[in-house]
Structure 1
C-alpha cells in the first residue's frame, strides 16, 4: 500500500514538472520586461546590478510622483505658504526667518508655513473663547474681551513655542561646545588642519553644533571664505560663547598666530565658563526649591503636625 502511494506521488510529481517546463517554454510569452532582464543578464554583474538599482529607484520615484500627496496636498500647501508669505509684512517676515534659522527650522518650516500655523492657533483660540461665551451668560463687553483674549493668546502661543525651541537648541550648542573644542584641539595638535579637524568631527559626531559645522564645510566647498562661513554660523546660532570662539579663530587667522594655541585657550575658557554656569545654577537651587516647599510641602507638614493638636484641644475644652 505504501509503495503504491509513493509510486503514485512520484508519477504525479513527474507529470507536474513536465507540464511546468512545457508552460515556461512554449506558453508564457516573452514580455518586454523579460526581454529587458535577458539583455541585462548579458552584461557584466556590476553593470547589471547598477541598471537594476537605477530602474528600481526610477520606479519608486515615479510612484512617489504619482502619489496623492505629491499631486494634490503638496502643491496646495506650497500655494498657501506663498499666499501667507505675501500677506506677511516684509519687516516681520525677516524677523520670523531669522528666528526660524536660529531655531534650526530653516529647512523644515518657511515663513509662510509659520504664518499658517500662527493663523490656525489664532482661529482655534478665538473659537474656544467664542464657545465659552456661548455657554455662559455674559454681557457684550465681556464677550468682546473674551474674544480678544482668545485671539491674543492664540497669537502669542506659537511665538512662545518658537522661543522655547530656540532656547533649547542654544542650550544644546552651549553644552556641546567645550567637547567640540577639545576634539578640535586634539586633532590640530595631532597634525590636522583646522578644516580637516572640523571634517573629522562632523563625520563622527552629531548634534545641533555639528549640523552648523557641516553647513560651514558646505559653504566653504561652495567657495565661501572661512571667516565668512564662520561668521554666518555665529549669526545663525546667536550664542555669545560661539561668537567669541569664531572671533578668536578669525583673529588668529588674520594675525597668523597658531590655531592650536588659540583652540587650547578657547577650550580652557569654555570649560571654565561651563563650570561657572553650573555653579550659578547650583546656587539658584535653594531659591527655586523655596516655592515648592511653601506651596506643597509646608501645608502637608502643618496638617500632619497641627491637626492632631487641634483635635486634642477641642476634646479637652
Structure 2
C-alpha cells in the first residue's frame, strides 16, 4: 500500500517536472535571437547563465521598476559595461544569480541533513548582490586606472601641442601612443564624436559625464574654459599635467603612510602570537623538565 502511494507521488513529481521543463523549452523558443556583433564578448560565467538572463528579460523585463532600471543604466555607464549588457539584462542576471545560489544552498542543506532555513536565504541575497559588487569593483579599478594614466596622456597632449599640433591632432597622437585602458577608450570616443560633427567642447563634456572622475572634470573644465576665453591650451595642459602628477605622488605618500596602520591587525592577531609561542615553548618545556611547573 505505502509502496504504491510512494510510487504514485514519485511519478507525479516526475510528470510535474517534465511539464515544467517542456513549458520552459517552448517559451524559450519564442525568445528572439541576439546579435552581439557590435557588443562586448561575454565571459564564461555569463555565457553559461545568458539563456536564463535573456529568458527573464524577454518575459519579465518590462515589469522592472523604471527607477531601478535608470539607476542600473547609470552604473553600467560609469563602469563602461553598457556595451556588455543592458540595465534590464543586469537586473535579470541578479535574479538568476540569486536563484542559482538559492538552489545550490538547498542542495547543500539537504546533503548535510540540516534543517537550516537561513542558509538558502543568505545565499540568495548574496547571489542577488554579487553582480552589484562586481560593478563596484570594476568602478574602483577603473577610477584608479584613470587617475594613474591621466598625467601620461596630459604629457602627450602638451608635447604634441607645443610641437605645433592642434588639440584634435594632439588627441589622435595621445590615443595612438598612450597606454591601454579606460582613458584611451574614452579619448577614442571623443575623437569619434568630433568626426561625426559634435563640437569639441560637447564631446569632452560627454566624456566627463561618462567617467565622472574629479580629475577628468577639472581637465575638461580647464580646456573648455581656456578655449572659450582664447587662452593657450598648451599652457593649460602643462599646468594640468603638473597638478595631476603632484596629486598622484600625494596619493602614493598617503598610501605609504597608511600601510603601518593597516599592518597592526595582522601583526597583533597572526604574527605576535606565533612569535610568543616560538619563544616561550622552550622556556616552558625547560621549566616542566625541572619540575617548576
TM-score scaled by length of structure 1: 0.71
Q: Is the 8 A contact 1:216 1:230 kept in 2?
A: yes
Aligned partner of 1:255 in structure 2 is 229
Q: 1:187 aligns with which of 156, 160, 171?
A: 160
Q: 2:260 aligns with which of 277, 281, 286?
A: 286
Q: 1:150 aligns with which of 123, 134, 147?
A: 123
Q: Check 1:295–1:84 CA distance in 2 against 1; reply closer, same or farther (3 A cut).
A: farther
Q: Give the 5 Å matches for 1:158-237.
A: 158-205=131-178, 206-237=180-211
Q: Is the 8 A contact 1:81 1:111 kept in 2?
A: no
Aligned partner of 1:54 in structure 2 is none
Q: Is the 8 A contact 2:101 2:124 kept in 1?
A: yes
Q: Does 1:309 align with 2:271?
A: no
Q: Is the 8 A contact 2:161 2:234 kept in 1?
A: yes
Q: Check 1:207–1:301 CA distance in 2 against 1; reply closer, same or farther (3 A cut).
A: same
Q: State the alpha-carbon separation in 2 of the partners of residues 203 and 260 from structure 1.
A: 19
Q: Give the 5 Å matches for 1:1-317.
A: 74=34, 81-134=57-110, 135-138=112-115, 142-143=116-117, 145-205=118-178, 206-317=180-291
Q: Which moved more, 1:256-265 or 1:221-230?
A: 221-230
Unpaired runs of at least 5, structure 1: 1-70
Q: Check 1:228–1:83 CA distance in 2 against 1; reply closer, same or farther (3 A cut).
A: farther
Q: Check 1:219–1:85 CA distance in 2 against 1; reply closer, same or farther (3 A cut).
A: farther
Q: State the alpha-carbon separation in 1 of the partners of residues 126 and 64 from structure 2.
A: 19
Q: Check 1:80–1:153 CA distance in 2 against 1; reply closer, same or farther (3 A cut).
A: closer
Q: Check 1:85–1:223 CA distance in 2 against 1; reply closer, same or farther (3 A cut).
A: farther
Post-superposition offset of 1:148:
2.5
Aligned partner of 1:66 in structure 2 is none
Q: State the alpha-carbon separation in 1 of the partners of residues 218 and 60 from structure 2.
A: 37
| Aligned partner of residue 284 in structure 2, secondary structure | helix
Post-superposition offset of 1:81:
3.9
Aligned partner of 2:11 in structure 1 is none
Q: Runs (4+) of structure 1 moved beyond 6 Å?
A: none
Q: RMSD of the TM alignment (CA)?
A: 2.1
Residue-pair matches, total = 243
Post-superposition offset of 1:73:
6.1
Q: Is the 8 A contact 2:61 2:92 kept in 1?
A: no
Post-superposition offset of 1:72:
8.2
Q: Which moved more, 1:153-162 or 1:276-285?
A: 153-162
Post-superposition offset of 1:299:
2.2
Post-superposition offset of 1:310:
1.0
Q: Check 1:80–1:199 CA distance in 2 against 1; reply closer, same or farther (3 A cut).
A: farther
Structure with greater Cα Rg: 1
Unpaired runs of at least 5, structure 2: 1-30, 36-50
